[in-house]
Amino acid sequence: MNFFKYLWTRYHPNYVRALIYMLQANEYYPFEYMAWYHRTNDFYNIEERKHLVYTLKAILLSAFAWISLVWSFASSAIFIYWSQVPGIVAAIAGFILAPFIVPYTLFLLIVFLNALQKPVEAVIVSRAKAKLKRHKAIKIAVAGSFGKTTMREILKTVLSQGKRVAAPGGSHNTPLAIARFVKTLAGDEEVLVFEFGEYYPGDIKKLCNFVEPNWGVITGVNEAHLERFGSLEKAAKTIYELVDYLKAKSGSFSKGSLQQEILGYVNAEGTYQPPRDPSSFVYYDKRGTPSWEVTTVESSVNGLIIGFAYNGEHYQMRSRLLGVHNVGPIAAAADIASRLGLSPEQIGMGVGQTKPYEHRMQPNLDGGVTWIDDSYNGNPDGAAAAIAFLKSLEGSRRWYVTPGLVEMGSRKEEIHREMGKKLAEAKIEKVVLIKNSVTPYIEEGLKAAGYAGEILWYDFGPTAFNALPKMTVAGDVVLLQNDWPDQYE
């Protein structure tokens, strides 16, 4: 550690801005913010990938931080002066101590504000819950370590061909975000699709009690957020709280003409696979579902062409989604749609409208180079799917750009070495690594697997992104895998 840098960056004018930025980046979770503060030595180059957004909350916290800084300086100096220390020495000591006090005053303020905010949020959620309880729509909940947003959007797009469907936008998967969405409902919707976010044990159970879903979709369980949960088993237990809820409520489900034959859908390709229950759940994968069997798949940078066998008939459907890992979710959506009364023709039209969603295998053609933005895909299954997609492409020089994956906990070395091994086996011509705490393990995996391509290193993501257009040529395919938030090492 550079002790001089450790000290002087706390006295730089950007110090307060850095603290507020990290509070914002950690979604104002006080303990995550303090964990970042204690492991950070350089507060000067904090906003490398994103920047502070001056919301009203950020402005008020910035004002408080500056007032706290002045107060810390003054109170420390006065206290030291009263201890019979000469005034000039007391002033210097107060100046030295003040920047070390401010982070803790911000921590205490956020804890206090969060405590005040909880009763208000509870009222908002309670009102939304009452509105949802009166709503006659079929409610479908999507939970899992990965692929939730894509699954939600596929369902919304396909089901909209025959039903009035609504779903929250973005990654709005917390109680408060869902409550705000519920407030916008007209009341005549026939299907509501919700994405359930899991951050801590019990989160999915709380969302189930709030939304009261009729059906559920488990997109899979892997090491995403392993750092928070501690083990894959704890993460799985939290996600499968949706299954527990559906089983407990199964006797009371009845929505109009819908016969509750099954409770939900489970991705059979997830890392964690509990004992199967085919009497209550439909299992889906690249081969489809028992009712919607996948017969053929063609994958390219233009999307997918999928052949289905359903009720003795054959159907060919096109989707602009990239990668065969999307075949299973599309099949599950087709199965759900048919159970809700949509015809194969309607389902085919819906599948035809599915397309890559923002920052999730999202292609863009520029100067003959295909750029694929997969920056919101930061889990092992997503990375493996992206690498498999690149491997399937022929006749193109392929680039894989990544800073690695965050929150992999105790398995970070193993997971990143495996990424390197997969890249070597796929014979990706160019691997661009952004320097941080995990990318050396990717390099180790590449070398251990006898990688014959070129490894390029960059200190920062923006530097690599600015350099790539000058190194690529028409026909190249560049995949940008995951973003590395500034709050991680």
Q: Where do the CATH 3.40.1190.10 domains begin and end in the chain?
A: 136-353
Burial 361-388 (b: 16+ CB within 10 A, else e): bbbeeeeebbbbbbbbbbbbbbbbbbbe
| pLDDT at res. 482 | 82
Ranking 65-69, 257-261, 434-438 by mean pLDDT, the lowest is 257-261
Q: Which two tokens stand for residue 313?
A: 């008939």
Decide which of 82 and 267 is more confident. Answer: 267
Ranking 82-86, 115-119, 302-306 by mean pLDDT, the lowest is 82-86
| pLDDT at res. 173 | 87
| pLDDT at res. 198 | 86
Ranking 161-165, 169-173, 195-199, 434-438 by mean pLDDT, the lowest is 169-173
> In the predicted model, is pLDDT for residue 206 greater than 90?
yes
> In the predicted model, is pLDDT for residue 8 greater than 60?
yes
Give the integer Cα–Cα distance in Å for 457 and 115. 44
> Which amino acid, residue 191?
V
Confidence of residue 69 (pLDDT cuts 50, 70, 90): confident
Of 442, 439, 422, 432, whose CA–CA distance to 467 is shortest?
432
> Hey, how many other C-beta atoms are within 10 angstroms of the C-beta on 439?
23
| pLDDT at res. 2 | 59
State percent of the chain over pLDDT 70.
Answer: 91
Q: 136-353 falls under which CATH superfamily?
A: Mur-like, catalytic domain (3.40.1190.10)
| pLDDT at res. 38 | 85
Average pLDDT over residues 407-412: 79
Q: Where do the CATH 3.90.190.20 domains begin and end in the chain?
A: 362-481
Alpha carbon separation from 55 to 16, 20, 24, 101, 105 (Å, rounded): 15, 11, 10, 24, 20
DSSP state at residue 250: G
Give the integer Cα–Cα distance in Å for 236 and 220. 9
Q: What is the mean pLDDT of the chain?
A: 88
Confidence of residue 209 (pLDDT cuts 50, 70, 90): very high
Average pLDDT over residues 228-241: 83
Show Cβ contacts of residue 136 under 8 Å, excluding neighbours closer than 6 positions. 255, 256
Burial 314-352 (b: 16+ CB within 10 A, else e): ebebbbebbbbbbbbbbbbbbbbbbbbebebebbbbbbb
> Which amino acid, residue 263?
L
Phi, psi torsion values for 438, nearest 5 degrees: -115, -20
- What predicted TM-score, i.e. pTM, was given to this entire model? 0.83
Ranking 130-139, 281-290, 300-309, 357-366 by mean pLDDT, the lowest is 357-366
| pLDDT at res. 293 | 97
> Mutual orientation of helices 87-134 and 30-39 as an angle, nearest 10°?
140
User: Do residues 268 and 285 touch, judged by C-beta distance below 8 A?
Assistant: yes
Long-range contacts at 6-13 (CB < 8 A, ≥ 24 apart): 6/41, 6/42, 9/42, 9/43, 9/44, 10/43, 10/99, 10/100, 11/99, 12/43, 12/44
User: DSSP letters along 387-448, please?
Assistant: HHHHHH--SS-EEEEE---S--GGGHHHHHHHHHHHHHHTT-SEEEEE-SSSHHHHHHHHHH
Decide which of 47 and 319 is more confident. Answer: 319
User: Do residues 310 and 351 touch, judged by C-beta distance below 8 A?
Assistant: no
Burial (0-12, 13-18, 19+ Cβ within 10 Å), 64: middle
Confidence of residue 315 (pLDDT cuts 50, 70, 90): very high
Architecture of domain 362-481: Alpha-Beta Complex (3.90)
Average pLDDT over residues 322-350: 96
Average pLDDT over residues 160-167: 97
| pLDDT at res. 387 | 95
> Hey, how many other C-beta atoms are within 10 angstroms of the C-beta on 31?
11
User: Do residues 188 and 134 touch, judged by C-beta distance below 8 A?
Assistant: no
> In the predicted model, is pLDDT for residue 398 greater than 70?
yes
Give the integer Cα–Cα distance in Å for 215 and 336. 10
State percent of the chain over pLDDT 90.
Answer: 56
Phi, psi torsion values for 122, nearest 5 degrees: -60, -40
